[in-house]
Structure 1
Amino acid sequence: MAKSAKTKTEVVAETPVPKKTRKKTEPVEDLTIAEAPIQLQAVENYSRFSEFDIYLFKSGKHFKLYEKLGSHVAEYKGVIGTYFAVWAPNAHYVSVIGNFNGWERGSHPLSSRWDGSGIWEGFVPNIGRGEVYKYFIKSMNNGLELEKSDPFALWCEVAPQTASVVWDTWYEWQDEGWMRNRRKHNSLTSPISVYEVHLASWMRDPDNPERFLNYREIADSLVPYVKEMGFTHVELMPIMEAPYPPSWGYQITGYFSCASRMGNPQDLMYLIERLHLEDIGVYMDWVPSHFPGDAHGLYNFDGTHLYEHADPRKGYHPDWKSYIFNYGRNEVRSFLVSNAVFWMDRYHTDGLRVDAVASMLYLDYSRKHGEWIPNEFGGRENLEAISLMKEMNEAVFKDFPDAQTIAEESTAFPGVSRPTYLGGLGFGMKWMMGWMNDTLKYFEKDPMFRRWHQDQITFSLVYAFSENFMLPLSHDEVVYGKGSLIGKMPGDEWQRFANLRLLFTYMYTHPGTKLLFMGGEFAQAREWNFQQSLDWHLLNQAPHKGIQECVKALNSALRNQPALHDYNFSPEGFEWIDSQDRDNCIVAYSRKGLNPSDTIVVVLNMTPVPQQGYRIGVPSVGIWEEVFNSDNPSFYGSGVSNTQVIETQPEKWHNQPQSVVLTLPPLAGIILKKSAK
């Protein structure tokens, strides 16, 4: 230990520190059931920091801080124990408290480093994996006494307990095949169909609906289900430690810890591995936009506004009653980028869906005049947050070029999914919120009135290729009184289910990747409730089973029809055939693949009136086949289809060289492809 650091410790130790005891609890897990070998680091000096580490940290460029800060089981001078390190630059005194010392604040002080980094560190012998702990912090400026969980903890106690847990991320991964080949699953020309999942409510214990299934139990049901349905990826709503269940995981206190109520880190890794072994990718929600004010969390961490802005006009989020990271502080930038890298490095996740990007981009987001501070140029853009997102994307794609980052961004901010070297933010994809809003508004209308709203369903193609768009029908559309997807559909029962099948057909044949929230794939009837399992019993009813079979068929079409993904984000892959038949509420378009023979034609009938003898133009001569029909009886449809041979006629139509005459089923979409025979 450096002499100056030892002197600092001796001085601090003389300061009287009041004792505070806590009822001793049992270790969070019987260590005998976790038999993975402890990853030890035998060191002569217990500190894990080099001078270069400190330089990077203070410069905002250390993107693997999780290897340094936090708690790490190590061997020091032949003794196994745990090394602790925490950033608290405005602390007068820091100690580790836990079961091992009866929560005595004065028994295990940490040393303040000599280099001005604000890092406190120390080695506690004879404690290890499974030990619960917190940091006791006495603030230098105001004398506040705080008990804080570890910002870099790898695991936490189950709420309502709030301590951190000494743990590790050792796991003997078996997904080498997926990791080696995932580029072909994650590329911008791949078929990507994402199943959005809230793990705590996807399925509960059938014998005890109040009990969460743990990650391993969920794997036994979720993995084969996603495989059967044909989704290419799952997106997990936040799986970091969040003590308040109604936040659905978006109010995070443990950014490096998986949600403890469903298991430990290795349990979550097992779930991810199982998905990978079935060639299913794993995206996860990441929330760098705000954090809650829980007493044990990041807020007011060392008695000062360390992670958040001090000025509430920049540091407080009025919508979510939470706190905004100080994106201009270098150490905070290192924390956030390290966290993004961590989940891909240690958990093998395949991408990050970044939540609430719009709230980060603009200083006046959800604020009235006088409630925000302009940037240095007088504008409303949050230049520090913009810089952070660019740096995060560069760091992720540098280390994981076969991964993805996806922005939930609802404004017209330019270049969200364009490379940083071209001036963009660097995301791989962006949610197409305009498509979602326009489409749902259109489908909510009675078909009798849709003729006056044709532009609502066609407008998205005006800007569809300005970004790499993902089409989301997410959890946001089935909560807070919005009802379920099937509940939005007009008409009697048959029409409502037909409308939903038509909506999904439009979604899957529209340019862009796809995302569907759990329950939508079988037309869950009620609004999503995070406290209950999905209503799986509905699959015993033919209409709901029909929706499920329809989604399964659309996922298969997405995978097997190159025209539906070769040009996910390029205008070369789309051409309107007819968007102007307002009277009949019919639209037709073609999707094209790299090979001209892969071209398909899509026709959507937005009314419950079947159309006989309906002529449309097609791009080439030959026999065309109906390869998909959402009115299929196996989908609970009426069975109206084109059973006859569909042979082109040399009559130009819709600016196409050939045309065909079709039967269009009611409230349905069909996909045609030219026969190879």
Structure 2
Amino acid sequence: MKSVQNYSLFTEHDIYLFKEGKHYKLYDKFGAHSVSKDGVEGVYFSVWAPFAAKVSVIGNFNNWNPAQAVLSPRWDESGIWEGFIPDLPWGTLYKYAIETKEGEILEKSDPYALSWEQNLQAASLISTTYYDWDDTDWMQNRWKNNSLNAPLSVYEMHIGSWFRDGENPKQFLNYRDIAQKLVPYILEMGFTHVEFMPVMEYPYDPSWGYQITGFFAATSRFGSPQDLMFLINELHKNNIGVILDWVPSHFPGDANGLHKFDGSYLYEHEDPRKGFHPDWKSYIFNYGRNEVKSFLISNAMFWLDRYHADGLRVDAVTSMLHLDYSRNEGEWEPNIFGTNVNLEAKTFLQEFNTAVYKEFGDSIITIAEESSDFPMLTKPVHDGGVGFGMKWMMGWMHDTLKYFKEDPINRKHLHHKLTFASMYMYNENYMMPLSHDEVVHGKASLIYKMFGDEWQKFANLRALYVYMFTHPGAKLLFMGDEFGQTSEWNFKQSLDWHLLQYPVHAGLKEAVKDLNHLYKNETALYKNQFNPYGFEWVEADDTDNSVLIYLRKGKNEDDILMTVLNLTPRVIDYKIGVDENSKWEVIFNSDDEKYGGSGVIANIFSEDQEEWKNKTNTISINLPALSGVVLRQSKIIVPKKAKSKLKNKK
């Protein structure tokens, strides 16, 4: 039998910050920590269970007997139970046996555990996040790559279904195996960042990781904490950023999880109108409880600190901010001002953003998945904003997909779907998402959302990608969309990589690769992606021809690109008004044969000194069907002295 001895990692200041909701590194205190007491090696345990009658550590070291390793409550009424148990090795399985005031014994896994077993009754493991990192160059300079003035092209992926061994397709690859395949692929494709769907421990595969039980544990499905760190380290060594999905919005009701942790509604709000999510049958954090805020913000800090994550994409922010989210009249209660805003959740998000940006500066990014028009999400907290670095541009996504699903004959009636985003695209710092949510649950794969026969579908999707990659804002593309995955995403199996043997799929992949490199190499596409100066309509109203033309502008008057979209299935000659003394060259054509296109050359066949739509000159260009064409401008400036000599000679 292992005896429990008095020991504590908490100072009085720690307790004060915890109770004030201002302790942001609780992972240094709570959980299981290897320590030495009086020269004896062992493990210090601590857990927050303020309404418990008794708490003990049970595990494979004491036959799961709750009567043996009993923890002591702290004297300061913090609700923390703690103690030191000698001679426990790494890998020891444990839980907390929590006796409620009603006498019921709950077996709970450690909310701060660094590793969990991979089964429904998962116990915690005594573990470590020590790792010999080798990404110093990236970490010191990542602020440049994560800047709003840098190209941000994100490859969203689910680790368990991106790639599997063909000989054993039901078996997950280890994080290390993924690294060997993922790093060269991202380098080839030109994405700047990878976004992993949740890697925190979760019990239920069909939740895709969004029903988290182990908030501080890397899921053991794919290996150890060090295996995940290896993957992130390898990406960083190759100048690829890593964004993690983070879920502070809800948690499942698993018996070993946070739900009624000490017999009370401890982590969740006790009022079901605020504490239970009707869609996901899960429980909503109590954002008004200071200790819960400390837990959640510490969790965000943990992944940015211990795992060197470069950003957090915060899931389901809309559900957090709206008291009436998925609720009918009478199922929610307005706030003190009579509105539907969850003021406690808003304050929590402001405190979260303030804390992580104070700790890490602009070297990291926070991104809100938010689908409403909630104001000032990406504005500074000191100006009344919520403080996120970016927000998903859900309106753009819905409008764009609706347009490209439509028969070109009818597209003139939906022309505004592609122009409307320009009315609000600088209200926030937007990321344009074509995410996993758009290719599941009967919504069809991205390629099958496009209108037409096979040729038209691929032509439409290539044109859509030109529109996306040349539109202001950061980019996000879900795995498989880059080569035209034909089936909906299935978390149970690998992507259909065999499709790349077919020219149309290989061509689409080549187009995305070239668009990524175009985006990264042309400063006009990213230097002002969140600045109104960076965009100008040339032709926004030609509904009959379904043609859209716009400029993207960089840091000087010569740094200009033009995007021309012909979204009808016919080749047309088109006149465009341009500035005097400007020359244009085509640098990308989505109809190129190497992309699976028909090979119609986008040729500038005429340049004239003719006034046209408020411009002094024109160019005329041959536009392929269902295409996106990108042109680069080069100006010819005649020096003033040369002009005066010409006049004298004349």
TM range (shorter): over 0.9
Residues 239-250 of structure 1: pairs in structure 2 closer than 5 A: 239-250=199-210
Could you tell me how far 1:133 is from its partner in structure 2? 0.4
Provide the rounded CA distance (Å) in 2 between the counterparts of 1:308 and 1:623.
Answer: 62
Could you tell me how far 1:643 is from its partner in structure 2? 4.4
Provide the rounded CA distance (Å) in 1 between the counterparts of 2:580 and 2:426.
Answer: 25
Asked if 1:174 corresponds to 2:174, the answer is: no
Residues 289-328 of structure 1: pairs in structure 2 closer than 5 A: 289-328=249-288
Match of residue 30 from structure 1: none
Amino acid at match of 2:292: V
Residues 466-481 of structure 1: pairs in structure 2 closer than 5 A: 466-481=427-442
Aligned residues: CA RMSD: 1.3
Provide the rounded CA distance (Å) in 1 between the counterparts of 2:118 and 2:413.
Answer: 54
1:557-609 CA-to-partner distances (Å, cap 9, x unmatched) read 10011010011111100000001111110010100001221101110000110
Q: TM-score, normalised by structure 2?
A: 0.96
Provide the rounded CA distance (Å) in 2 between the counterparts of 1:359 and 1:648.
Answer: 54
Match among 609, 616, 629 for residue 657 of structure 1: 616
Could you tell me how far 1:45 is from its partner in structure 2? 6.8
Match among 81, 93, 111 for residue 151 of structure 1: 111
Could you tell me how far 1:158 is from its partner in structure 2? 1.2
Match among 156, 178, 186 for residue 196 of structure 1: 156
Asked if 1:483 corresponds to 2:444, the answer is: yes
1:376-430 CA-to-partner distances (Å, cap 9, x unmatched) read 2222110100000000000110111110000001111110001101100000000
Decide whether the 8 Å contact of 1:623 with 1:647 is kept in 2.
Answer: no
Could you tell me how far 1:622 is from its partner in structure 2? 3.2
Match among 120, 144, 147 for residue 187 of structure 1: 147
Decide whether the 8 Å contact of 1:622 with 1:648 is kept in 2.
Answer: no
Higher mean C-alpha displacement, 650-659 vs 45-54: 650-659
Could you tell me how far 1:473 is from its partner in structure 2? 0.2
SS of residue in 2 equivalent to 1:256: strand
Match of residue 357 from structure 1: 317
Residues 367-378 of structure 1: pairs in structure 2 closer than 5 A: 367-378=327-338
Amino acid at match of 2:225: P
Asked if 1:393 corresponds to 2:356, the answer is: no
Percent of matched pairs sharing the same residue = 59
Structure 2 unpaired stretches of 5+? 637-650
Asked if 1:630 corresponds to 2:582, the answer is: no
Decide whether the 8 Å contact of 1:479 with 1:527 is kept in 2.
Answer: yes
Could you tell me how far 1:198 is from its partner in structure 2? 0.3
Could you tell me how far 1:619 is from its partner in structure 2? 3.4
Decide whether the 8 Å contact of 1:82 with 1:125 is kept in 2.
Answer: yes
Asked if 1:555 corresponds to 2:516, the answer is: yes
Decide whether the 8 Å contact of 2:6 with 2:83 is kept in 1.
Answer: no
Match of residue 602 from structure 2: 642
Provide the rounded CA distance (Å) in 1 between the counterparts of 2:207 and 2:290.
Answer: 28
SS of residue in 1 equivalent to 2:443: coil
Match of residue 531 from structure 1: 492
Amino acid at match of 1:99: N
Structure 1 unpaired stretches of 5+? 1-9, 14-43
Match among 421, 430, 434 for residue 460 of structure 1: 421
Could you tell me how far 1:651 is from its partner in structure 2? 1.5
Higher mean C-alpha displacement, 44-53 vs 414-423: 44-53
Provide the rounded CA distance (Å) in 2 between the counterparts of 1:143 and 1:379.
Answer: 41
Match among 587, 598, 601 for residue 562 of structure 2: 601
Decide whether the 8 Å contact of 1:272 with 1:282 is kept in 2.
Answer: yes
Residues 83-98 of structure 1: pairs in structure 2 closer than 5 A: 83-98=44-59
Decide whether the 8 Å contact of 1:624 with 1:647 is kept in 2.
Answer: no
Aligned length: 633
Provide the rounded CA distance (Å) in 1 between the counterparts of 2:586 and 2:267.
Answer: 58
Match of residue 35 from structure 1: none
Provide the rounded CA distance (Å) in 2 between the counterparts of 1:168 and 1:380.
Answer: 42
SS of residue in 2 equivalent to 1:597: coil
SS of residue in 2 equivalent to 1:634: helix
1:307-338 CA-to-partner distances (Å, cap 9, x unmatched) read 00111111000011000000000000000000
Could you tell me how far 1:161 is from its partner in structure 2? 4.3
Q: TM-score, normalised by structure 1?
A: 0.92
Match among 504, 509, 517 for residue 543 of structure 1: 504
Provide the rounded CA distance (Å) in 1 between the counterparts of 2:301 and 2:455.
Answer: 47
Amino acid at match of 1:100: F
Could you tell me how far 1:458 is from its partner in structure 2? 0.7
Amino acid at match of 1:464: M
Provide the rounded CA distance (Å) in 1 between the counterparts of 2:212 and 2:264.
Answer: 19
Change (3 A) 1:620 1:273: farther
Could you tell me how far 1:46 is from its partner in structure 2? 2.6
Amino acid at match of 2:37: Y
Match among 210, 216, 231 for residue 176 of structure 2: 216
Provide the rounded CA distance (Å) in 2 between the counterparts of 1:466 and 1:532.
Answer: 39
Decide whether the 8 Å contact of 1:99 with 1:132 is kept in 2.
Answer: yes
Could you tell me how far 1:129 is from its partner in structure 2? 1.5
Residues 16-31 of structure 1: pairs in structure 2 closer than 5 A: none
